Amino acid sequence: MLEDTKKDRVVAITSYCNTEEKLNVLIVNISLIRLKFPDYKIALHANYPLLPPVQELVDMYFYSDLNYAPRDKWIQFWNTIGDKNGSFFNKKFYYTIPDTGWAVFQQINALTRYLIDYKWVMLINYDTSVEEINSNDYTEEYDLTLHYHYGRTNYSMIMMFFNPRVFYEKVVTKYFTFKNWFDVKRDNQMNERRFFDMINDSGISLFAHDHRVSDKVDCGLDYLKPNAPPNPYFTNYLLYHHETILEVYLWGLQIPIEHVDMMDENGKSYTIDNKNSRGEFECVITVSEEKFEIIYILKINDIRFNEHIPLKIKKGYKVLPI
């Protein structure tokens, strides 16, 4: 299958590099892996095609589009915005994306099959923090070595060390199935939880490290860091627009904000009053049925700006009561 005379150890990388940031992270990681694991070959699987200069950085390159996701399946990330004294708002903020977790399982499946003649596979995702990996952590004492994810409740899928033939026979063929992955009982499970359950159900010889290996690419929750256009009044915002309802959240306030005058890109004006008693700004209003992507802040507390502050309505966000 593979022409290597010595099929001992290989680093397998799963990737979906559809942005310049992701591609740069992948290239840096390949370089670090070469330095850190000089005796390992490198195999790269791409769900998003990579150009020849990137392919030439590795020993084996596989491309196949496994990024399938049913239209009604989503992953949800949520946060409450606040401090040790509680939430600033009356809602949890959610970010939803199409469920691409199945694609990760398919990539693991494909790489395991491609590399099944190897004795050991070290599998990482393209943006794993390779600097945190200690090669001495991964021995042949167990058929599968993992890291915990978020404490000790789940296993991380971004770093694995395993015997591919045992892993394929015990886990992949029996548990990494479409029927099992999309079982209705798993609808509200995060990917790591599904992975955790399947690994434990398989009975494979397993060791899990307490220390968590992190990743390098932000998952996209831009409101968790300052995301507002430069202005002297607030640092963070989230707009949630559903049909004729617009919810406006401003925090990181530099001054108390009592009311805001806005105008959407269709020219409709709105004056909104703060309904939050916890020190930030929160308001829900009814708006026109016309679609708009940007709303402009014209005034805050009757202070008019020479240049309006544009706020974007980002797709994939929603809010729910705490």
End position of a domain, from candidates 185, 209, 233: 209
**β-pairing verdict for 154-162 and 144-149:** antiparallel
Any domain includes 79: no
> What span, in angstroms and rounded, lies between the C-alpha atoms of 26 and 128?
9
Any domain includes 215: no
What CATH number has the domain bearing residue 300? 2.60.40
Do 171 and 248 sit in the same domain of this protein? no
Do 241 and 111 sit in the same domain of this protein? no
Q: How many domains, the chain? A: 2
Sequence-distant (≥ 6) Cβ neighbours of residue 209 within 8 angstroms: 137, 145, 146, 147, 148
Do 243 and 189 sit in the same domain of this protein? no
For residue 99, the model assigns a pLDDT of 66
Do 249 and 203 sit in the same domain of this protein? no
Any domain includes 107: yes
Do 27 and 171 sit in the same domain of this protein? yes
> What span, in angstroms and rounded, lies between the C-alpha atoms of 95 and 285?
21
Do 59 and 149 sit in the same domain of this protein? yes
For residue 1, the model assigns a pLDDT of 39
pTM of the model: 0.73
What CATH number has the domain bearing residue 48? 3.90.550.10
Do 299 and 177 sit in the same domain of this protein? no
Do 277 and 129 sit in the same domain of this protein? no
For residue 217, the model assigns a pLDDT of 87
Encode pLDDT of 173-208 as tens digits: 999 988 888 888 887 788 899 999 999 999 999 999
Q: What is the DSSP letter of 225?
A: S
The token duo for 8 is: 């001992």
Encode pLDDT of 18-70 as tens digits: 889 999 999 999 999 999 999 999 999 999 999 999 999 999 999 998 877 77
Do 142 and 248 sit in the same domain of this protein? no
End position of a domain, from candidates 155, 177, 209: 209
What residue numbers bound the domain in which 200 lies?
Answer: 9-72+98-209
- Low-confidence spans in the chain with pLDDT less than 70: 1-5, 71-73, 98-100, 219-220
